[in-house]
Amino acid sequence: MSSDQRVFNFLKERIGLDVASVGEAIIERAVRQRSQAVQAQTADDYWQHLQRSHDEQQALIEAVIVPETWFFRYPESFATLARLAKARLAEIKQMRALRILSLPCSTGEEPYSIAMALLDAGLAPHQFKVLGLDVSPLSVERARRGVYGKNSFRGADIGFRDRHFNESADGFHIRERVREQVRLQVGNLLDPTLLANEASYDFVFCRNLLIYFDQPTQKQVFDVLKELTHVDGVLFIGPAEGSLLGRHGMKSIGVPQSFAFSRHAEPLKPEPVFAPIPAPPPLRTAASQPVKPRPFSTVSAQVVPIKASPSDAGDLLSQIATLANEGKSAEARAACERYLSNHPPAAQVFYWLGLLSDVAGSALQAQGFYRKALYLEPQHPQALMHLAALLESQGDSAGARRLQARAARSERADSESKR
């Protein structure tokens, strides 16, 4: 067994990470960094040190986990939570505080966003409490500090920063009123005793985690999440994970872009509100090709042909990103169609169309768009991973693994080219 495989198995056992989902190159880079930090001369030296040192085990996990989060990521989830929370309080006749769980909570942006959303919605501090859990002690410690830089505040609407933070030389400090609503602790979803002696939660946030596990681990984690979520509760997940929950009997509550699921069909029907979809990755364009009329087009919007220029293409790509981030799904789709009508096909445009379809719950349509993105750019990383998640949810584990392996090879090649 190679030293790399030993490390892969260690990470799988400790945190459930499916190495293919992030790429071997990321793990190998983390191992190199940690080997240099402890002055290990060989791979075997580092492996022996890893076995002996709990601190080094945690340091390797920290090196692999790269938190990517910000306040009010997927805003409609929090707007939906506020409406559901008021209804839930009425249902239980205000007899107890609502219990809300955020895991993994990373550096605290999500659990604090939950608290801010509910306070802004008019809930009193005694009406809810939030628990944030993460496998990383370093992330939990940063969350407890509650000091954030500008990268944690994204999007056009950051008015909440003035309401809930104090600015100082070292960043933005979250105010005590919000901090008091949130308890933070280290915890591992793969621990069978996790929160075993605590009551279930009315709302659970577990977003963008399941897609990094293989199918058996997904099932194991889902069973834990189901135990943690009250029978009448709601589970919030990431935009690419809905089909995975559907396979296990959970059902969408029917609010677009909230990514909220329940054991029951549509327990509540709040009015749909458009909100930003996840921020798109850096722009990618296909190599120059002859312009084709409406290639791969599926939307019948009327588009007036215009004389396209390279600068116009760049402007339109930027416009698509802006519309998507503003939650204007219909306008973003129309802009994608406008691009395809007047410019050579671009993988990133089809990826956006796939993501918009994914968010809207149209899995088959999303799958088609992701495949078109991969036709133009075979190693498009986001399209590979999202299509893999869809295939996994449809029972095509072999197909999903092939795509994950392609993503891993691409990551490894990209890493080697930058050395």
**Which phi and psi (to 5°) does residue 355 adopt?**
-65, -40
Bridge partners, residue 167, by sequence = 172
Which of 3.40.50.150, 3.40.50.2300, 2.30.180.10, 1.10.3720.10 would CATH assign to domain 75-262?
3.40.50.150
User: CB–CB of 93/61 below 8 Å?
Assistant: no
**How far is it, in rounded angstroms, from Cα 320 to Cα 105?**
30
- pLDDT value at residue 132: 97
Phi, psi of 91 (to 5 degrees): -65, -40
In this structure, what token pair is assigned to residue 88? 């839930």
- At 411, list the tokens: 């990551």
Measure the CA–CA gap between 313 and 370, rounded to whole angstroms.
Answer: 21
Answer whether 174's CB lies under 8 Å from 204's CB. no
> In what helix (H) or strand (E) does residue 242 lie, and over which residues does it extend?
helix 242-247
CATH class of segment(s) 310-417: mainly alpha
From first to last of the 419 residues of the chain, give the pLDDT tens digit: 445 788 888 888 888 777 766 667 778 888 888 899 989 888 889 999 999 998 888 888 878 876 678 999 888 899 999 999 999 999 999 999 999 999 999 999 999 999 999 999 999 999 999 999 998 888 899 999 999 999 899 877 899 999 999 999 999 999 999 999 999 999 988 887 888 888 999 999 998 787 777 778 888 888 888 889 999 999 998 876 776 777 777 888 888 778 888 987 454 444 433 334 444 444 443 343 333 333 333 333 333 333 445 567 788 888 887 777 666 778 888 888 888 878 877 888 888 888 888 777 677 778 788 877 887 787 888 788 788 777 776 667 777 777 777 766 665 555 555 55
* pTM across the whole model: 0.62
Tokens of 136: 């990383």
What single string gives the DSSP state of each residue in 314-370? Answer: HHHHHHHHHHHHTT-HHHHHHHHHHHHHHS---HHHHHHHHHHHHHTT-HHHHHHHH
Q: Report d(CA 303, CA 337) in Å as an integer.
A: 8
State the pLDDT at residue 24. Answer: 77
Provide the CB-side half-sphere exposure for 233 (13 A, CA).
20
Amino acid at 407: A
Interatomic CA distance for residues 12 and 229, integer angstroms = 25
Number of H helices, E strands in the chain: 18, 10
Say how far apart CA 371 and CA 291 lie, in whole Å: 20
**Which position has the token pair 């029917």?**
254
